Amino acid sequence: MSARRPLVAGNWKLNKTVKEATALARDLKGRLAAARNAEVAVAPVFTSLASVKEALAGSAIALSGQNVHFEDQGAFTGEVSAPLLVDVGCTYCIVGHSERRHVFGDTDENVNKRVHALLNHGVTPILCVGEQLEEREAGKTLDVVLGQLALGLANYPSAKAKEVVIAYEPVWAIGTGRTASPSDAQEVHEAIRGRLGEIFDTETAGAIRILYGGSVKASNAKDLLSQADIDGALVGGASLTADTFVPIIEAAG
Ligand code: PGA
């Protein structure tokens, strides 16, 4: 049994008005009022963060950003910075999500800068890594995933390393209804933990939570989460209603 506390994070992506997001937050707060082993976080769009934070007051559900710019302030039209995420109550922030990498051109280098910006302000990064279908079919899964991991964590201070969260999200499984089999996912998670051991040390690697993401739903959550190196889930589509999200959290304990 690992001592790692499971984390289930809902990535709401570009969905929900302020009213819809706060309604969902209130619903989750009510249904998740009892103390549980799994930790829960939600990542609404930037415009809903403040209202969702207010709706979650008094609950243990954490707030996460979906992305962050690496500079604190200045002439960066359209961006949001780490101090602003702190200001609104975020304790987590997703970085390097595949949609950021593949739709908006985020590179390993700027993902690493975002990670450091978060660290500088005490926000825990949820660093996403994952291969595309062609890469998997070409047998390059581990090269791609472990490469993104090492570059995303470049110069990460070991004293703070136990807190970082990694999310393995095979790109071909995101929003497609296709999920990696529990054993395929476990194989990659184990390799990620092995590489974390090389980057930091074995003890640190053993404390870092590695989430799985990609079409996680109530029906597959238990099998995925029972794998030795899967410490939670990053959930997109199924996190958009309490009816589909809560059973995943329950599966995490
Ligand atoms: P999905 O998204 O659960 O809808 O596949 C996961 C993610 O992109 O984080």
Question: Stretch 58-69: mean pLDDT, rounded?
Answer: 97
* Ligand 1 center to 180 CA (angstroms): 12
Question: Apex CA 149: angle with CA 147 and CA 155, to 5°?
Answer: 105
Q: Is-contact 126 144, C-beta < 8 A? A: no
**Residue 132, domain extent:** 7-241
Helix (H) / strand (E) element for 212: namely: strand 209-213
Does the residue 249 lie in any domain?
A: no
* Ligand 1 center to 239 CA (angstroms): 9
Does the residue 251 lie in any domain?
A: no
In tens, the pLDDT along 130-185 reads: 999 999 999 999 999 999 999 999 999 999 999 999 999 999 998 888 888 999 99
* Ligand 1 center to 159 CA (angstroms): 30
Which one is catalytic: 39, 99, 131, 169? Answer: 169
Q: Whose CA is nearest to atom 9 of ligand 1?
A: 236
Does the residue 53 lie in any domain?
A: yes
Which one is catalytic: 97, 131, 135, 189? Answer: 97
Does the residue 169 lie in any domain?
A: yes
| Domains held by the chain: number | 1
In tens, the pLDDT along 88-108 reads: 999 999 999 999 999 999 999
* CA contacts within 13 A on the Cβ side of 121: 25
Q: Tell me which amino acid residue 215 is.
A: S
Q: Residue 3 — very low, low, confident or very high, per pLDDT cuts 50/70/90?
A: confident
Q: Is 134 a catalytic residue?
A: no
Does the residue 198 lie in any domain?
A: yes
Ligand 1 closest atom vs CA 174:
5
Residues within 6 Å of ligand 1 by CB? 11, 169, 174-175, 213-216, 234-238
Q: List phi, psi (to 5°) of 183.
A: -75, -35
Q: How far apart are CA 103 and CA 98, in angstroms?
A: 8
Q: How far apart are CA 29 and CA 7, in angstroms?
A: 16
Q: List phi, psi (to 5°) of 211.
A: -90, 155
Count of H helices and E strands in the chain?
11, 8
The larger pLDDT score, comparing residue 2 to residue 230, is at: 230
Does the residue 2 lie in any domain?
A: no
In tens, the pLDDT along 203-252 reads: 999 999 999 999 999 999 999 999 999 999 999 999 999 999 999 999 99
Task: Judge residue 231's burial from the number of C-beta atoms within 10 Å of its C-beta, 0-12 exposed, 13-18 middle, 19 or more buried.
Answer: buried
End-to-end CA gap in the chain: 13
Question: Stretch 74-97: mean pLDDT, rounded?
Answer: 98
Q: Tell me which amino acid residue 55 is.
A: A
Residue 2: its pLDDT value, please?
Answer: 55
Q: Is 169 a catalytic residue?
A: yes
Does the residue 246 lie in any domain?
A: no
Q: How far apart are CA 109 and CA 114, in angstroms?
A: 9
- 123 DSSP assignment: P
Ligand 1 closest atom vs CA 173:
5
Read off the CATH number of the domain in which 69 is found.
Answer: 3.20.20.70
Does the residue 247 lie in any domain?
A: no
